[in-house]
């Protein structure tokens, strides 16, 4: 008599991981991903139809966004007591398949990830004015360690001359992008005051632009129709806590890992009670990115500039329906 080994009861854990992955941050809240659940695997695919053709022609920000989703899936599995085994870019013939996640038998260090799962739904991109109180060195140190655990580097910008050049290059990049009509059209397409829309940047989560922001580090102008709900006076200062996230390499595999590192840093900051703003204008303009790397003496390739501090909460951006991003394979 032969017996059949029953399927391992992993499908529900993988489905929960996919649901948590949908809460990841993404460029302009494009949510450029699809998830496929198999009997014992979760696949994360890039949805290239949601790539920003003007802002992100290389797909860097798309892959960073998907890396954030991948990290959420890992943290969710860890929170359920499971060890996630990840194969990144597992099939060269299927470039949209970014990662395949399964639950492994070998023990790994999942406990530190599991503690981040409960704060996934509390993480927000915050465009409000931050308080002037400094971020303690031990908090910054923990964020640097978090990035390093994901094979990335988090560089704290502290020298006055580095702060000044970062602010200048951010302002130049922001002006250059805003001068491009195609860029402004793309911003308009992904910004909405429609409360029923499930993607894009909602007006309730952006500052109203009136010319009185007072920013050294410019917050991207999403107030395309003058309907931003948040206060205009954001005062994004070069003297606040500024952290630059990067990786040794500058290719798709590194961009995916940068996203995992970014989300780990953001969740650690959230767990410690801090808010974060993300800035990528200086990365998106090639000349500014080159000069930033040169002027700061960086060995790494920078991908995201973060501002960390205390700020009032903002309304959460909505997410696409699960039926639109999640499917199951036999």
Q: Given 95, 121, 147, which residue is the final one in a domain?
A: 121
pTM, rounded to two decimals: 0.94
Residue 181 structure tokens: 């009509």
Q: Count the neighbouring beta carbons within 10 Å of the beta carbon of residue 232.
A: 15
Instruction: Place 173 in a pLDDT band, splitting at 50, 70 and 90.
Output: very high
- Residue 190 is predicted with a pLDDT of 95
**Cβ–Cβ under 8 Å, residues 78 and 86:** no
Burial of 318 (0-12, 13-18, 19+ CB in 10 A): middle
How confident is the model over 44-60, as a mean pLDDT? Answer: 98
Q: Is 104 in the same domain as 236?
A: no
Question: Collapsing DSSP states into helix, strand and coil, what is residue 208?
Answer: coil
Q: Is 201 in the same domain as 115?
A: no
Q: Which domain holds residue 155?
A: 137-309
Residues 217-241: pLDDT tens digits? 998 988 777 676 676 778 899 999 9
Instruction: Place 213 in a pLDDT band, splitting at 50, 70 and 90.
Output: confident
Q: Is residue 1 part of a domain?
A: no
Q: Is residue 148 part of a domain?
A: yes
Q: Is the pLDDT of residue 110 over 60?
A: no
Q: Is residue 232 part of a domain?
A: yes
Q: Is 271 in the same domain as 167?
A: yes
Q: Is 72 in the same domain as 149?
A: no
Looking at the chain, the whole-number percentage of residues with pLDDT higher than 90 is: 77
Q: Is 147 in the same domain as 49?
A: no
How confident is the model over 118-127, as a mean pLDDT? Answer: 94
Q: Is the pLDDT of residue 107 over 60?
A: no
Looking only at the bridges linking them, the beta strands covering 41-46 and 241-247 are unpaired
Q: Is residue 15 part of a domain?
A: yes
* Cα 316–Cα 202–Cα 238 angle in degrees, nearest 5: 80
- Residue 154 is predicted with a pLDDT of 98
Integer Cα distance of 253 and 132 in angstroms: 37
Integer Cα distance of 195 and 191 in angstroms: 11
Looking only at the bridges linking them, the beta strands covering 84-88 and 33-37 are unpaired
* Cα 181–Cα 184–Cα 186 angle in degrees, nearest 5: 110
Q: Is 241 in the same domain as 296?
A: yes
- Residue 202 is predicted with a pLDDT of 85
Q: Is 146 in the same domain as 112?
A: no
Residue 28 structure tokens: 């302009």
Q: Is residue 162 part of a domain?
A: yes
Q: Supply the CATH number for residue 82's domain.
A: 3.40.109.10
Q: Is 99 in the same domain as 49?
A: yes
Q: Is residue 106 part of a domain?
A: yes
Q: Is 144 in the same domain as 254?
A: yes
Q: Is 301 in the same domain as 154?
A: yes
- Residue 109 is predicted with a pLDDT of 56
Q: Is residue 319 part of a domain?
A: no
Comparing 4-18, 69-83, 118-132, 262-276, which segment has the lowest mean pLDDT? 4-18
Q: How many domains does the chain have?
A: 2
Comparing 19-23, 107-111, 200-204, which segment has the lowest mean pLDDT? 107-111
Compute CA distances 315 → 2, 126, 255, 276, whole Å.
57, 9, 28, 14
How confident is the model over 300-324, as a mean pLDDT? Answer: 95
Instruction: Place 8 in a pLDDT band, splitting at 50, 70 and 90.
Output: low
How confident is the model over 158-176, as a mean pLDDT? Answer: 97
Compute CA distances 164 → 128, 288, 292, whole Å.
21, 14, 11
- Residue 6 is predicted with a pLDDT of 38
Q: Is the pLDDT of residue 108 over 70?
A: no
**Could you identify the residue written with the tokens 């499930």?**
198
- Residue 1 is predicted with a pLDDT of 36
Q: Count the neighbouring beta carbons within 10 Å of the beta carbon of residue 51.
A: 19
How confident is the model over 260-277, as a mean pLDDT? Answer: 98
């Amino acid at each position: 008599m032969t017996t059949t080994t029953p399927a391992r009861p992993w499908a529900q854990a993988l489905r929960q991981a996919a649901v948590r992955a949908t809460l990841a941050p993404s460029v302009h809240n494009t949510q450029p991903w699809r998830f496929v659940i198999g009997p014992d695997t979760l696949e994360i695919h890039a949805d290239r139809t949601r790539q920003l053709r003007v802002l992100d022609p290389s797909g860097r920000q798309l892959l960073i966004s998907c890396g954030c989703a991948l990290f959420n899936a890992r943290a969710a599995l860890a929170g359920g007591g499971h060890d996630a085994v990840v194969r990144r870019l597992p099939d060269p013939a299927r470039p949209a398949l970014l990662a395949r996640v399964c639950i492994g038998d070998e023990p790994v260090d999942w406990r530190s990830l599991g503690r981040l799962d409960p704060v996934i739904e509390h993480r927000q991109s915050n465009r409000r004015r931050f308080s002037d109180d400094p971020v303690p060195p031990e908090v910054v140190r923990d964020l640097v360690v978090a990035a390093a655990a994901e094979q990335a580097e988090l560089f704290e910008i502290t020298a006055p001359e580095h702060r000044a050049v970062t602010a200048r290059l951010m302002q130049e990049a922001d002006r250059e992008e805003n001068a491009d009509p195609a860029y402004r059209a793309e911003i308009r397409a992904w910004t909405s005051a429609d409360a029923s829309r499930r993607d894009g940047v909602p007006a309730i989560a952006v500052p109203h632009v009136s010319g009185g922001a007072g920013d050294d580090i410019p917050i991207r102008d999403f107030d395309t129709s003058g309907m931003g709900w948040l206060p205009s006076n954001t005062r994004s200062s070069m003297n606040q806590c500024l952290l630059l996230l990067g990786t040794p390499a500058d290719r798709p595999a590194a961009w995916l890992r940068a996203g995992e590192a970014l989300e780990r840093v953001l969740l650690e900051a959230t767990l410690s009670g801090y808010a974060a703003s993300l800035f990528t204008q200086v990365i998106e303009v090639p000349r500014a990115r080159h000069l930033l790397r040169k002027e700061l003496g960086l060995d790494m390739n920078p991908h995201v500039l973060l501002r960390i501090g205390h700020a009032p909460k903002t309304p959460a951006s909505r997410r696409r329906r699960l039926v639109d991003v999640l499917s199951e394979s036999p």
